[in-house]
Amino acid sequence: MTLPPLTILLAAPRGFCAGVDRAIQIVERALARYGAPVYVRHEIVHNRYVVSQLEAKGAIFVDELDDVPDDVPVVFSAHGVPKSVPAEASRRKLFYVDATCPLVSKVHREAERHERTGRHMLLIGHAGHPEVVGTMGQVPDGSITLIETVADAERVEVADPGAVALITQTTLSVDDTAEIIAVLRRRFPELQSPKQEDICYATTNRQQAVKAIAPEADALLVIGAPNSSNSNRLVEVAKNAGCTRAVLVQRAVDIDWKALEGVRTLGLTAGASAPETLVEEVIAACRDHFTVELRDVVVTRENVEFKLPRVLVA
């Protein structure tokens, strides 16, 4: 039986970013240096496959420091944590390693600077996301107002419109954020913004790659976790760019093959916390149903690397 043809447009860049790669290395090096178990507060990155691989090596993932015994190493996730978390770890004399992505740490430093200079901050982000919780936890309560939508931007009020600053979650949709920022700048002409937008290079690059393949694709798969902000934004970007049949899948087993009947061109990408192994798994599964031709669509090449904490390098 002859399988139907399928051209897979493989977006590049895709998958792991430098911050995710660094965070995973931190857990692996901590296990190698200190032995199992190494505790990790929250998922180190939002990907169940990655978490399971690290659990198999001896990492134990917990929700809060209360779940961490004394005298064991603990790692904080790539999304960042409120200041209260390392403070509590220090109080308990826990040895901890902070795996916060350096680009998230940059936002934390911006928040501290704005708070010191008396500016109220408007944070564009998603309520309850670990990165947002961590950023808001860098400064006293009431210093930041969360903005999730254009409607929020239209109605937000601040005590002093002349002393207001903008910060953003790093994993948002560039286009959606631009719309919210435009409203805030119209309403607050003296709004202080970062010299470079807080949305990280990897988020931007992956969204640009999806925009490049979406118009040609009959359907598009984004490999990523349901709780991964950047992966969910890739689905939205694909739909806005013309591929209405864009869906998020965690693994090949999650693919709805009936929904792909009649598809001749499939876009494929992976969120910043999804390993290339899962991309290869999906391609292999496609070969069971189609005669596959791969076509790489490269919008840029990344060469960013972040240094590991000195305590794990010395």
H or E segment and range at residue 293: strand 291-298
Number of domains in the chain: 3
pLDDT mean over 127-143: 97
Shared-domain flag, residues 213 and 292: yes
Rounded Cα distance between 61 and 142, Å, is 31
Rounded Cα distance between 130 and 136, Å, is 10
pLDDT mean over 115-132: 97
Short-list 76, 68, 64, 66, CA closest to 37: 68
131 an active-site residue? yes
Kindly state whether residue 308 falls inside one of the protein's structural domains. no
pLDDT digits (tens, 9 = 90+) for 141-184: 999 999 999 999 999 999 999 999 999 999 888 888 999 999 99
pLDDT at residue 194 in the model: 84
pLDDT at residue 145 in the model: 98
Kindly state whether residue 314 falls inside one of the protein's structural domains. no
CA 106 to chain centroid, in Å, comes to 15
**CATH number of the domain that residue 290 is part of:** 3.40.1010.20
Kindly state whether residue 309 falls inside one of the protein's structural domains. no
Per-residue confidence at 125, pLDDT binned at 50, 70, 90? very high
pLDDT digits (tens, 9 = 90+) for 67-114: 999 999 999 999 999 999 999 999 999 999 999 999 999 999 999 999
pLDDT at residue 174 in the model: 83
Which of 183, 198, 213 is the endpoint of a domain?
198
pLDDT at residue 18 in the model: 95
Short-list 10, 12, 11, 17, CA closest to 202: 17
Domain enclosing residue 75, as ranges? 18-98
Q: Indicate if the pLDDT at residue 195 is higher than 80.
A: no
Kindly state whether residue 56 falls inside one of the protein's structural domains. yes
Q: Indicate if the pLDDT at residue 50 is higher than 70.
A: yes
Q: Indicate if the pLDDT at residue 26 is higher than 80.
A: yes
Catalytic residue among 28, 131, 236, 302: 131
Q: What is the pTM of this model?
A: 0.94
pLDDT at residue 53 in the model: 97
Kindly state whether residue 305 falls inside one of the protein's structural domains. no
Shared-domain flag, residues 44 and 110: no
Q: Indicate if the pLDDT at residue 196 is higher than 70.
A: no
Shared-domain flag, residues 183 and 272: no
pLDDT mean over 195-211: 88
- 155 φ, ψ to 5°? -105, -5
* DSSP-assigned letter for residue 97: E
Which of 98, 124, 148 is the endpoint of a domain?
98
pLDDT digits (tens, 9 = 90+) for 207-258: 999 999 999 999 999 999 999 999 999 999 999 999 999 999 999 999 999 9
Rounded Cα distance between 168 and 132, Å, is 9
